[in-house]
Amino acid sequence: MALLGKLQIRWSLIPAIAACGAMLLVLSGLAIGVYDEQTYRAQKVREATAQGEILAATVTAALAFDDRPAAQEYVEALRVNSQVVSAGIYNQDGALVADYARDRGGHADPTVALHPPAFVGRHLLVVTPVAEAGQRLGLVAVRIDTDPIARRLSRYVGLGLLLFMALLVVGVLAAAHAVLTRTNNDLADANRNLQDEMHERERAESALRQSQRMEAMGQLTGGVAHDFNNILMIASSGLDLMERTDKPERRKVLIDGMRQAVERGASLTRQLLAFSRRTSLRPEVIDLAAQLEGMRLLLDRSLGEDISVALDLPPGLWRVKVDPSEFELAVLNLAVNARDAMPGGGAITIGGENRPIGSDAALPGDHVALRITDTGSGMTPEILSRVFEPFFTTKAVGKGTGLGLSQVYGFSRASGGDVRIESEVGLGSTIFLLLPRTEEALPLATPELSPVTRPPGAQGDVLLVEDDEGVATLVSGMLTELGYNVTRVDCAAGALAALEANPAFDIVFSDLVMPGEMDGIALAREIGRLWPSLPVLLTTGFSPGVAAAAEEGLTLLTKPYGIGALAAALDGARPG
């Protein structure tokens, strides 16, 4: 806007500058014309005066002796001068002695007597006295021709045209400046109005998204509480039953059930964090057939007994690189959406096919198309055009949030793929989840370490930084089981004090979120500055700093974790 203001100021000066220039040209032209006219007249007067003086000197003797033939001869000699129009020789009485007229239209008028040279029409009349020894003998009158005023003015036509063009340019510039100023003002007003409207729209959309998200979170609260109560029920009942039995096989069944409940709780937490967009995608190379086969039990339990699920996956499906948890959540959302379209029961078929490059012009490269087909009621074109909009749902209030298919769309796009839907009312729906192929190999399976007791101190000394007493007790127990000597503090300041007192620790294991001014990332930075060779392993259940930890190359172990995962993370964080 500042630049436009400067340009506008500069443009406003152009008409004034042009007008001043045109005025200078006009004045200059007038001055030149006046000067040239004066110079021309003075030159003509000099020529005529010289011609008169020459004639007066020549006819002196003829007038003195009244020799008319000689006087006529002298005056006739003026014919050789084409500019002389007429000439006359008069005696002292004013009588005409001899004359000459080029066009036979008369001769010079003697009545002008001794008045100064005068321009009469297009002629210049000069009267010169004839005298000898102080005695006046008569006079001669010579009339010479001058250029017409029109011919003299024609010399200034070019200058006049230049002046006219200059004035025309000034007029055009002034008109253009006026139009430009109006247009610029209109544009500035429109731009301000557009910015105001955009800000107002952003505020309205932000308020709408916030209200919809709060509504969705309210709808999700009941289901989340129900799932966590089931998990707590399994853990609580399992502990009670373990206290009442001494049978190893019975204890193993109870422990396995509680471990599965913990895994369900961790999976639910990951889904909630993914919904709230607090986690970033962690792509891994997966085998789609194996991943879907591993979801069969989850699908059966989630969809109910009246929905049959069939996997129709051909051998040789290409590998893909996606976030496994987000992939499972997307498949689960698609399956639940298909179930809700079949309130009386039905069948869901999950198939797949390889699609080489060129089979879909909108997608570059090779892709795997995962196909989820249901026998439900189908969708109208109006609903089909909006199914991926966040918070859009056709379900009754409290039956759905409208976020399931939105998560599927977001996951597919973030993974470099796409999602398509084919549906007709009464004929069911087919959803294609398109994921890009990867040439990377499947990762090697990492076996879970058995919680085998190792001699205390065999693995070294670990500084545990954890403010939660319950978590600290359990983690200390696992570290001891793994053969570490454990020193526990509850904050970053305590950790730095412990390291100052004894810098011989082999590793620092710290929570990411802690009380005090320093969190786990700040503690890791300070340790790296003071003890650069000391490794740090961070852990968290959730923190906005997870992305920052990943950007700084810090090793992070996600809660909840088992003793095997803890052992692997500690071994990976330590050098060698």
Q: What is the CATH number of the domain that holds 139?
A: 3.30.450.20
Read off the pLDDT band of 109 (50, 70, 90). Answer: low
Task: Looking at the structure, tell me whether residues 432 and 466 fall in a common domain.
Answer: no
In this predicted model, which residue has the larger pLDDT, 131 or 105?
131
Q: What is the CATH number of the domain that holds 539?
A: 3.40.50.2300
Is 370 a domain residue? Answer: yes
Distance between CA atoms of residues 153 and 432, nearest Å? 90
Task: Looking at the structure, tell me whether residues 423 and 311 fall in a common domain.
Answer: yes
Distance between CA atoms of residues 54 and 59, nearest Å? 9
Task: Looking at the structure, tell me whether residues 117 and 37 fall in a common domain.
Answer: yes
Task: Looking at the structure, tell me whether residues 350 and 484 fall in a common domain.
Answer: no
Tens of pLDDT, residues 317-367: 999 999 887 888 888 888 888 888 888 889 999 999 999 987 777 778 899
Tens of pLDDT, residues 436-467: 999 888 886 555 545 455 555 567 899 999 99
Is 62 a domain residue? Answer: yes
Query: The tokens of 270 are what?
Result: 């990951």
- The pTM for the full model equals 0.43
In this predicted model, which residue has the larger pLDDT, 157 or 481?
481
Mean pLDDT of 244-261: 82
Contact 162, 174 (CB under 8 A): no
Looking at residue 262, its pLDDT comes to 80
Is 39 a domain residue? Answer: yes
Cα first-last separation, the chain: 61
Task: Looking at the structure, tell me whether residues 432 and 291 fall in a common domain.
Answer: yes
Residue ending a domain, choose from 421, 436, 451: 436
Q: Is 121 left (phi over 0), alpha (psi -120 to 50) or beta?
A: left
Q: What DSSP string runs through 404-465?
A: HHHHHHHHHHHTT-EEEEEEETTTEEEEEEEEEB--PPPPPP-PPPP-----TTSSEEEEEE
Residue ending a domain, choose from 401, 436, 471: 436
Task: Looking at the structure, tell me whether residues 415 and 306 fall in a common domain.
Answer: yes
Is 407 a domain residue? Answer: yes
Task: Looking at the structure, tell me whether residues 29 and 77 fall in a common domain.
Answer: yes
Is 157 a domain residue? Answer: no
Residue ending a domain, choose from 146, 177, 199: 146
Is 226 a domain residue? Answer: no
Is 119 a domain residue? Answer: yes
Query: The tokens of 573 are what?
Result: 């964080």
Tens of pLDDT, residues 309-324: 999 999 999 999 998 8
Task: Looking at the structure, tell me whether residues 291 and 402 fall in a common domain.
Answer: yes
Q: Say if strands 96-101 and 118-120 run parallel, antiparallel, or are unpaired.
A: unpaired
Task: Looking at the structure, tell me whether residues 398 and 292 fall in a common domain.
Answer: yes
Is 248 a domain residue? Answer: no
Task: Looking at the structure, tell me whether residues 308 and 402 fall in a common domain.
Answer: yes
Task: Looking at the structure, tell me whether residues 517 and 409 fall in a common domain.
Answer: no
Domain that holds residue 29: 2-146
Number of domains forming the structure of the chain = 3
Task: Looking at the structure, tell me whether residues 332 and 371 fall in a common domain.
Answer: yes
On the question of pLDDT at 146 being above 70, the answer is yes
